[in-house]
């Protein structure tokens, strides 16, 4: 009979071309009817599993040769997703929401590659086939209608609601949390259909929230009967026969050191000092593999669970309590079977000898982190000191050795993230009462260093024995993510050395040491961690980047991690039998990859569930604090808002829509939000004061808002401002007060023009070009900055007042350019129906795009080291302002024609426009600061082309404001004198 491996191997051959089943039948020389039937059945199985694909011409081939890729779908709440290929060397593939083809999060799918980025860029694809469904049951909120209902999935990555017909309600009512069995999956526009199989309770009932999370992640709540029966058969005490072949360590001073609430004590330690000055460290781990035999119900259940899950108010154990809290727990003063790793270290903490063996121990004390920390403090409590006096030398020795181990680890380049963790305290009903920080004291560091040393020693030992094994690996960071991190830290003035595209972990740890205790420490540490890959299990030892370790495994927690249990089983087999038989070696080797994958996946599920319950309880904790103020630090900046973390580790979101004092734009490279008008910058690590605005226990979210954030001010469009100025009414200032005058008169006219613009909501312009020594001064409210701006008039230099800006449209609408200082340049334009606005800020090299569009028009950009410009196209004309430091020019063409404004610094800038309706295009230039509506000395021009005629106006003047049409109007009429014009009196008819 033909085996599946033969078929797959044949099709993977480079010379293979897709064949029909008849051609394959001849190739494999199948003659008998029964063999032919079995062969067709095998082809169908391989096709259904997605290992092979049948084309439209009925030919079979492997997916990779037919432009298809197999993998798991990782969906996003917004509808799109990514294919995580089974081939680990293949990059992920982006899948648009319209190309999901009914696939749901976690499904195994085949994807057809549709777009390949240049030079190995990002790939895009569409779902060609769903191979296996990951979701057969969904947990969600039941919403009832007349005759039907929908279940809204708790997992937002499942983008579609589940339709429930009336006959499938099974007693569910509106507002119930339910478990739904999926009967049919989504296809096209049709929703998935299901039936209610369990009612968890009303969404507001106590405890339903945690149960919903447990069911959502498919975490087991109880053990099968056969597993409990096997656990019951395990003896509660050690028999003499159990000690055969074990090294007896019951006479040594061995202790456990754990948290106060720990019940599954699976590791114990002891330290001795040899006559030669070396240290001997013994790490003794519960011998769980002695009780959980391969292939037993206990073993199968442990494999399925993968690990214990530690939720806020409960633990879902990998093994039944009879084992985890009983015979396998290293309780004090009782005999326990263990697997030991004994290591001798020299004065430099280098391992000079090691031994791995089975043993029996009797721990002297059950120590807690708190008590060990107190004993090793400068002034230990007298009562504690008296009780544990006989262990004090051991604890000091442990502290000394742990310090040396840590120093050695740091020198070789290990990365040590010192994040603050929290613990949520809950009452009997599960309601959170407090959130406290977990301390990482000397006691925790002792156990951490000892476990790391044992894990490395065991991993290296069995790697060189070349036996099947499970390793804990941490791959090198992705080059692109690492490059983004390197660019990010330059904003804080830091750099990391590397060779080419690689960085040694020691360089990253040096950075962590450099930022220790600084304001930006947590921020940079967080971004660094996000730039790295997740650690996982593997059958091959490829090293651990974060620990800078060549060999690493998980040996120390077999009660709560299945990989530890597996390697204990391999260790026992090697210790008892010596060389592993070839057949056994082959079998274990074939199993390790599957166990590594399963264990990694279950670990991620556990982490997700733990994080979700923490988010839920933190939201519950903040429910009664709505309206209260807190101080926090910006922990993340996104395109939709700012995440702020409080001192108690509670994190909330300030939505961009709630930041109503300005229009903010997201800058990914700097991870910052920048206000287009105020130039205000919010970055990672900034300290802010917030108040709790909203809390949702259903979404597990907390919304903050900034304290003392003023509302965004009303804006007036440029065209309206120009019309107001020409009308000469109070909104635009007095027309007669604009212009230029002789001697000191120019200054007076300038000041009055500014005041007129300030009183109204339009815009005024003032300029002076006369000769003399008169000076004037006026203040103007800046719509670009919350600061006050002043403008001077020096008629001897021919500089006019920077007048009121009507086209920004703030309350006062009198502004200068928000002062271009320290390389910071501001500019502004419009936001009004067909008039789009924008602003640019150059602050320490940060550039703020005033608006983002693929359309063509003016965009304001200015930076510290150089200026850029961009354009946009649109059928409806947009107008905008552009400002630059070194003569940046912007232009625009439009179908419907609004105004285009352009400003420049030391060289001339021009703005042109063509329009069927013919509205003026304004251009200003000069040697003054590159501001929004200010130019120094230079030419200004206005051009207009229209089907109804054309006018061209040009005049020479100084200090012309960009938005003020009166000066331009006067120049067009040749009225250079600028004396105030008298308004004609109206008479009654």
User: Which tokens in the block code for residue 424?
Assistant: 């949520």
Rounded mean pLDDT, 313-342? 93
- C-alpha torsion 485→490→494→498, nearest 10: 50
Res 25: pLDDT: 75
Is the Cβ–Cβ distance between 780 and 751 less than 8 Å?
no
State whether residue 880 is helix, strand or coil.
coil
Which range among 141-150, 249-258, 419-428, 966-975 has the greatest average pLDDT? 249-258
The whole-chain average pLDDT of the chain stands at 74
More confident: 669 or 128: 128
462: which residues sit within 8 A by CB, 6+ positions away?
469, 553, 567, 570, 571, 574
Res 160: pLDDT: 83
CA distance 160 to 168: 18
Rounded mean pLDDT, 769-787? 33
State whether residue 96 is helix, strand or coil.
coil
User: Which tokens in the block code for residue 138?
Assistant: 């969904």
Percentage of the residues of the chain whose pLDDT score is greater than 70: 71
CA distance 5 to 698: 48
User: Which tokens in the block code for residue 1?
Assistant: 């009979």
More confident: 173 or 479: 173
Neighbours of 239 (CB within 10 A): 8
Task: Assign 619 a pLDDT band (cuts: 50, 70, 90).
Answer: very high
- Among the listed ranges 476-485, 532-541, 677-686, 733-742, which one has the minimum average pLDDT value? 733-742
Res 860: pLDDT: 31
Angle at Cα 64 formed by Cα 62 and Cα 69, nearest 5°?
Answer: 110
User: Which tokens in the block code for residue 213?
Assistant: 């999370």
Rounded mean pLDDT, 416-436? 85
Is the Cβ–Cβ distance between 265 and 375 less than 8 Å?
no
Task: Assign 721 a pLDDT band (cuts: 50, 70, 90).
Answer: low
The answer on pLDDT for 483 being more than 90 is: no
Task: Assign 717 a pLDDT band (cuts: 50, 70, 90).
Answer: low
Using one digit for the tens of pLDDT, what is the confidence trace for 15-45? 787 878 877 877 777 777 887 888 888 888 8
CA distance 850 to 853: 10
Is the Cβ–Cβ distance between 100 and 158 less than 8 Å?
no
Using one digit for the tens of pLDDT, what is the confidence trace for 494-509? 888 776 567 888 888 8
400: which residues sit within 8 A by CB, 6+ positions away?
none
User: Which tokens in the block code for residue 284?
Assistant: 């003794």
Using one digit for the tens of pLDDT, what is the confidence trace for 821-871? 333 333 333 333 333 333 333 333 333 333 333 333 333 333 333 333 333
Percentage of the residues of the chain whose pLDDT score is greater than 90: 37
Rounded mean pLDDT, 463-489? 88
Res 713: pLDDT: 56
CA distance 50 to 131: 6
- C-alpha torsion 217→219→221→222, nearest 10: 150
The residue assigned the tokens 């293949």 is 90
Partnered with residue 181 across adjacent β-strands are 137, 195
137: which residues sit within 8 A by CB, 6+ positions away?
179, 180, 181, 182, 197, 215, 218
The answer on pLDDT for 986 being more than 60 is: no
- Report in angstroms the alpha-carbon separations of 392 from 249, 495, 918: 20, 44, 91
- In this structure, the strands spanning 846-847 and 842-843 are antiparallel
Pure H helices in 217-359:
225-233, 297-305, 321
More confident: 449 or 78: 449
CA distance 409 to 348: 11
Pure H helices in 561-622:
562-577, 582-622
More confident: 810 or 298: 298
State whether residue 139 is helix, strand or coil.
strand
Chain CA centroid to CA 312, Å: 23
220 phi and psi, to 5 degrees?
-75, 135
Give the residue from 73, 106, 104, 83 showing the smallest Cα distance to 217: 106
């Amino acid at each position: 009979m033909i085996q599946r491996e033969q078929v797959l191997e044949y099709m993977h051959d480079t010379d293979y071309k897709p064949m029909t089943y008849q051609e394959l039948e001849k190739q494999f020389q199948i003659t008998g009817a029964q063999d032919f039937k079995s062969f067709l059945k095998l082809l169908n199985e391989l096709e259904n599993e997605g290992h092979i694909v049948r084309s439209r011409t009925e030919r079979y081939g492997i997916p990779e040769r037919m432009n298809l890729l197999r993998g798991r779908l990782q969906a996003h709440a917004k509808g799109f997703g990514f294919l995580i290929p089974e081939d680990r060397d293949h990059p992920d593939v982006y899948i648009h929401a319209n190309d999901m083809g009914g696939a749901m999060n976690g499904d195994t799918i085949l994807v057809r590659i549709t777009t390949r980025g240049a030079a190995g860029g990002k790939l895009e694809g569409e779902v060609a086939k769903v191979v296996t469904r990951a979701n057969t049951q969904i947990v969600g909120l039941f919403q009832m209608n007349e005759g039907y209902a929908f279940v809204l999935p708790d997992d937002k990555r499942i983008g579609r609601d589940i339709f429930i017909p009336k006959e499938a309600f099974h007693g569910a009512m509106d507002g119930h949390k339910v478990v739904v069995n999926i009967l049919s999956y989504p296809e096209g526009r049709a929703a998935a259909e299901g039936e209610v199989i369990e009612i968890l309770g009303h969404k507001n009932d106590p405890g339903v929230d945690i149960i919903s999370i447990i069911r959502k992640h498919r975490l087991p709540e109880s053990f099968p009967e056969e597993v409990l029966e096997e656990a019951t058969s395990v003896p509660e005490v050690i028999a003499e026969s159990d000690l055969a072949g074990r090294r007896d360590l019951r006479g040594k001073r061995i202790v456990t050191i754990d948290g106060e609430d720990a019940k599954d004590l699976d590791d114990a330690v002891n330290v001795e000092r040899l006559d030669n000055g070396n240290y001997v460290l013994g790490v003794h781990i519960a011998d769980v593999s002695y009780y959980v035999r391969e292939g037993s119900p206990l073993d199968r259940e442990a494999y399925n669970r993968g690990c214990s899950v530690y939720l806020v108010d409960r633990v879902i154990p990998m093994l039944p309590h009879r084992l985890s809290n009983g015979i396998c727990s290293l309780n004090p003063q009782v005999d326990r079977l263990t697997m030991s790793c004994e290591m001798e270290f020299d004065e430099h903490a280098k391992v000079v000898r090691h031994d791995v063996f089975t043993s029996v121990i009797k721990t002297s004390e059950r120590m807690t982190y708190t008590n060990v920390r107190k004993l090793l403090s400068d002034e230990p409590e007298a009562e504690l000191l008296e009780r544990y006096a006989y262990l004090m030398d051991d604890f000091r020795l442990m502290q000394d050795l742990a310090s040396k181990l840590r120093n050695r680890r740091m020198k070789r380049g290990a990365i040590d993230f010192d994040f603050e963790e929290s613990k949520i305290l809950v009452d009997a009903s599960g309601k959170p009462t407090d959130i406290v920080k977990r301390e990482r004291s000397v006691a925790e560091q002792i156990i951490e260093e000892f476990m790391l040393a044992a894990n490395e020693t065991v991993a290296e030992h069995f790697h060189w024995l070349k036996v099947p094994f499970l390793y804990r690996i941490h791959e090198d960071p992705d080059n692109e993510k690492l490059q983004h991190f390197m660019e990010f830290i330059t904003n804080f003035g830091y750099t990391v050395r590397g060779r080419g595209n690689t960085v040694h972990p020691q360089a990253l740890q040096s950075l962590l040491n450099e930022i220790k205790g600084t304001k930006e420490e947590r921020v940079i540490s967080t971004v660094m961690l996000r730039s790295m890959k997740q650690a996982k299990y593997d059958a091959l030892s490829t090293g651990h980047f974060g620990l800078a370790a060549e060999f690493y495994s998980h040996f120390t927690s077999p009660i709560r991690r299945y990989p530890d249990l597996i390697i204990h089983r391999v260790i026992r087999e090697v210790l008892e039998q010596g060389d592993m038989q070839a057949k056994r070696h082959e079998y274990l080797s074939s199993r390790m990859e599957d166990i590594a994958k399963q264990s990694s996946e279950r670990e991620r599920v556990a982490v997700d569930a733990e994080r979700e319950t923490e988010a839920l309880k933190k939201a519950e904790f903040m429910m009664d604090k709505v309206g209260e103020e807190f101080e926090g630090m910006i922990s993340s900046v996104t395109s939709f808002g700012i995440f702020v973390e409080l001192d108690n580790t509670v994190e909330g979101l300030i939505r961009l829509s709630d930041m109503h004092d300005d229009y903010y734009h997201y800058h990914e490279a700097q991870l910052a939000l920048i206000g287009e008008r105020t130039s205000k910058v919010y970055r990672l690590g900034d300290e802010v004061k917030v108040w709790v605005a909203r809390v949702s226990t259903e979404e597990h979210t907390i919304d903050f808002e900034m304290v003392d954030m003023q509302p965004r001010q009303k804006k007036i469009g440029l065209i309206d401002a120009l019309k107001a100025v020409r009308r000469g009414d109070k909104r635009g200032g007095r027309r007669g007060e604009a212009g230029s005058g002789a001697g000191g008169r120019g200054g007076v006219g300038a000041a009055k023009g500014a005041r007129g613009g300030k009183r109204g909501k339009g815009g005024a312009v003032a300029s002076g070009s006369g000769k003399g020594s008169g000076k004037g001064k006026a203040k103007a409210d800046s719509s670009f900055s919350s600061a006050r701006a002043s403008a001077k008039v020096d008629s001897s230099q021919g500089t006019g007042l920077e007048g009121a800006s009507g086209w920004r449209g703030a309350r006062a609408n009198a502004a200068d350019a928000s002062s271009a200082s320290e390389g910071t340049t501001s500019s502004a334009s419009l936001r009004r129906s067909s008039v789009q606005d924008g602003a640019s800020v150059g602050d320490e090299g940060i550039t703020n795009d005033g608006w983002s569009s693929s359309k063509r028009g003016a965009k304001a950009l200015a930076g510290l080291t150089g200026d850029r410009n961009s354009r946009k196209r649109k059928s409806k004309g947009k107008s905008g302002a552009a400002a630059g430091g070194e003569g940046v020019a912007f232009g625009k063409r439009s179908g419907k024609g609004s105004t285009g404004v352009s400003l420049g610094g030391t060289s001339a800038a021009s703005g042109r426009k063509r329009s069927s309706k013919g509205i003026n295009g304004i251009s200003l230039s000069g040697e003054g600061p590159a501001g929004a509506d200010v130019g120094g000395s230079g030419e200004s021009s206005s051009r207009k082309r229209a089907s109804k005629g054309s006018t061209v106006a040009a005049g020479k003047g100084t200090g012309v404001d960009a938005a003020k049409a009166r000066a331009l109007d006067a120049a067009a009429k040749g009225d250079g004198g600028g004396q105030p014009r008298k308004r004609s009196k109206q008479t009654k008819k």
